Amino acid sequence: MSESASDPLRRSIEVEYWVVEEDGSFTDPGGLVDASPGAEREFVEPVLEVKTTPCGSAAELRQELYERLGDVLSRAEEVGKRLVPLATPVSDETVTELESDRTRIQNRVVGSDFQYARHCVGTHVHVEQRPGREIDQYNALVALDPALALVNSSPYYDGKRLAAGARSKLYRRMTYDDVPHQGRLWRYADDTREWSRRLERRFEEFLVRAEEEGVDRATIEANFDPESAIWTPVQLRAEFGTVEWRSPDCSLPSDALRLANSVADVVKRLDDATLRIDGDSGRVTDDRVVLPEFDAVLRYVNAAIEDGLDSETVRSYLDRMGFDVGAYSPVSHEIDGRETVTAAEARELRLTHADRLERDVRNAVRQRE
């Protein structure tokens, strides 16, 4: 990664999608994993992840993501499979895990609530760390966490309405509800030493809990380290030299790219702008980045999860923080309003949104030609 603040801020993206048959039912990715660089399985059977490499500009990131997704979709068409950009299965579904020591340990540590994590697919955004500004970058991304509302893509879990951001609620309040310090957004940090201490404490808690559940220490340490044993929405990633934001739902590639590049643009301002934490409002200008106090951020996050862009408070906050809120039309608000969703209705929804994803990729390819 670059060490010069005058250089472009590199960014990368990881997008996860459900894989379905032509009738909308879940299926294994199979050969889609070999269709493109960066295509990988996730820890559950019917999910495919596509990653980009670090890219120096919005245009470069756009080109690489669309090329990779185009290759995957071409293979998918050949074998009768589709990709679905909805954050949850919507209806009551059995989602099968792929067996691994890592998943077995997580099930032991988290318990039966780990089932909720199997029903979530999302987007991860990485921006490169600037030496000496890593904690400012981390703190900025903590404050930007309410931007998850821009791409909420499912309000349903188990056939019932849960929240505008059902995936975020499943992760933060249901999967890890009984595991202290996991799942939730962590407070601002003062320096990288404080971040390291947090990781060490959380890893030790993880080790103790896993050992209490009968997992031997050697097996734990073979599958986890302090960085990979935590789930929190914003993380400093020493392995990649990035700050990672894991909150957004999966969405159309165009929306995921718009969001990733907007976040990178705000973080890039820290190369020249003054950052301070003050008050409840927050604001980003050319020469200043003002982050709200952490308790205010949590109020914005909670509203983003429960109400999404239906919350005028969230819309105003994101506008002040530099986002073009009007450019987004979260799917959650479009498909919301049902008391229940049957399996047949969910399959139809998946196919509708698989169509949209394919059109999104085709349109991007045409624009490059």
pLDDT 10s digits, 113-164? 999 999 999 999 999 999 999 999 999 999 999 999 999 999 999 999 999 9
pLDDT for position 64:
98
pLDDT band at residue 178, thresholds of 50, 70 and 90?
A: confident
Average pLDDT on 31-36 reads: 98
- CB–CB of 85/356 below 8 Å? yes
Average pLDDT on 322-326 reads: 97
pLDDT for position 90:
98
Flag whether 71 is in a domain: yes
* Distance (Å, whole) CA 61 – CA 195: 29
The average confidence (pLDDT) of the chain is: 95
pLDDT for position 369:
65
Is residue 324 over pLDDT 80?
yes
- CB–CB of 13/123 below 8 Å? yes
Domain count, the chain: 1
pLDDT for position 6:
62
Flag whether 1 is in a domain: no
* Distance (Å, whole) CA 4 – CA 138: 18
Flag whether 243 is in a domain: yes
Q: What residue numbers bound the domain in which 123 lies?
A: 11-367
pLDDT for position 179:
87
Flag whether 182 is in a domain: yes
Is residue 5 over pLDDT 70?
no
Flag whether 5 is in a domain: no
Flag whether 4 is in a domain: no
Average pLDDT on 294-322 reads: 98
Average pLDDT on 50-57 reads: 97
* Distance (Å, whole) CA 364 – CA 369: 9
Flag whether 359 is in a domain: yes
Token reading at 335: 């498909």
* Distance (Å, whole) CA 156 – CA 88: 7
Question: Which CATH number covers residue 111?
Answer: 3.30.590.20
Flag whether 119 is in a domain: yes
How much of the chain, in percent, has pLDDT values that exceed 90? 93
